[in-house]
Amino acid sequence: MGKKMRSYEVNLPVTFLKEGKKFIAYTPALDLSTCGDDFDQAKKRFEEIVRIFLEELFKMGTLESVLLECGWKKVSRPKLHWVPPVIISRTEESFKVPCPA
């Protein structure tokens, strides 16, 4: 019988974008995204996809390797748990993009 999954809450950085008529939810902490027809639907779908993604990684036995690859840290105090990477800055930069004449 496999390990039992324990859970705890973490705060993930989530960016919401609008592309055309769709709303996109994305977290760099898991490199995971989803979309919806409105903000609330994108948020709800994002919560669901994160839960499913983490549960499946746990079932496959790859949770630790994937989280480490995504920059997460395993912390042992006060209890053993995972900490996602911290975004220290979000800026906008200007770039020239080629466009056909």
CB 46 within 8 A of CB 61: no
Could you give the percent of the chain with pLDDT greater than 70? 97
CB 72 within 8 A of CB 83: yes
6 lies in some domain: no
For the whole prediction, is pTM greater than 0.75?
A: yes
Which segments of the chain are extended strands (E)? 15-19, 22-27, 32-36, 73-75, 81-83
38 lies in some domain: yes
55-97 residue pLDDT tens: 999 999 999 999 999 999 999 888 888 999 998 998 889 999 9
Residue 36 pLDDT exceeds 90: yes
Range of the domain at 25: 15-83
93 lies in some domain: no
27 lies in some domain: yes
Number of domains in the chain: 1
100 lies in some domain: no
92 lies in some domain: no
50 lies in some domain: yes
